[in-house]
Structure 1
């Protein structure tokens, strides 16, 4: 199947949540997926998951919609590749040691190579 690359650069819960919705859905139908986060989007990959304390998590759960926590678990089970942008880490002052387990640190070239002739989405 055609690889899918998702560039997460937006701040906050909404872009991070939908990046995970798209990524896990694509992986569930057998597409290779790489989720690449940079700058403000790096909050999704930080240890302690700061986005999980967003009030929308409780709202989504109350409405029967999978939240970031559930989608992160699904992403791990589905083998989704997560890459934190090395330049984005430096720009935001985030240390690689602040990232969740399993998140790679690499650059744009690695991201583009992982997607090859596949599709790219940006949120």
Structure 2
């Protein structure tokens, strides 16, 4: 059995958030459990409107290039059962409230994430 994958995001980079969703979707398609923790301003990636991320590229631009859009990837990650957490402090930093997050995203602190990860390695993107 494969080890679970634990991903962390810490900044407001659209490219890092997009790649995290690519990695998560790939791992989920292989049957691995995935947990994503968004800290700092990376919580913007977990809102309906992610255009506040730095270097934002619209989904239609990506799709014309044959690349999965951010919205499609996020939906797949949530639909395939990833555990997705937004940092409490990150929400405050970004000026957001929990109601602005996508359905299925939990508001947790870093201690909750680390406790869940246990001795498993963390991948920081």
User: What TM-score comes out, normalization by structure 2 length?
Assistant: 0.87
Could you list the runs of 4 or more consecutive aligned residues of structure 1 that deviate by over 6 angstroms after TM superposition?
Answer: none
Contact 1:20/1:71 (8 A) holds in 2: yes
**Following the alignment from structure 1 to structure 2, what is the Cα–Cα distance between the partners of residues 88 and 27?**
25
How big is the alpha-carbon RMSD for the aligned residues of Structure 1 and Structure 2?
1.8
Q: Alignment partner of 2:7: what SS?
A: strand
Which structure is higher in helix share?
Answer: 1
User: Quick one: structure 1 residues 56 and 47, their matched pair in 2 at CA, closer, same or farther if it must change by over 3 Å?
Assistant: closer
**Following the alignment from structure 1 to structure 2, what is the Cα–Cα distance between the partners of residues 66 and 46?**
18
Q: Which residue of 1 aligns with 2:30?
A: 29
Q: Which residue of 2 aligns with 1:43?
A: 44
User: What TM-score comes out, normalization by structure 1 length?
Assistant: 0.88
**Following the alignment from structure 1 to structure 2, what is the Cα–Cα distance between the partners of residues 69 and 16?**
11
**Following the alignment from structure 2 to structure 1, what is the Cα–Cα distance between the partners of residues 118 and 57?**
37
Q: Which residue of 1 aligns with 2:18?
A: 17
Question: For structure 2, which runs of at least 5 residues remain unmatched after alignment?
Answer: none
**Following the alignment from structure 2 to structure 1, what is the Cα–Cα distance between the partners of residues 75 and 112?**
24
**Following the alignment from structure 2 to structure 1, what is the Cα–Cα distance between the partners of residues 16 and 77?**
16
User: Quick one: structure 1 residues 69 and 98, their matched pair in 2 at CA, closer, same or farther if it must change by over 3 Å?
Assistant: same
Question: For structure 1, which runs of at least 5 residues remain unmatched after alignment?
Answer: none
Q: How many residues align?
A: 122
User: Quick one: structure 1 residues 119 and 43, their matched pair in 2 at CA, closer, same or farther if it must change by over 3 Å?
Assistant: same
**Following the alignment from structure 2 to structure 1, what is the Cα–Cα distance between the partners of residues 61 and 44?**
20
Q: Which residue of 2 aligns with 1:72?
A: 74
**Following the alignment from structure 1 to structure 2, what is the Cα–Cα distance between the partners of residues 83 and 15?**
16
Q: Which residue of 2 aligns with 1:59?
A: 61
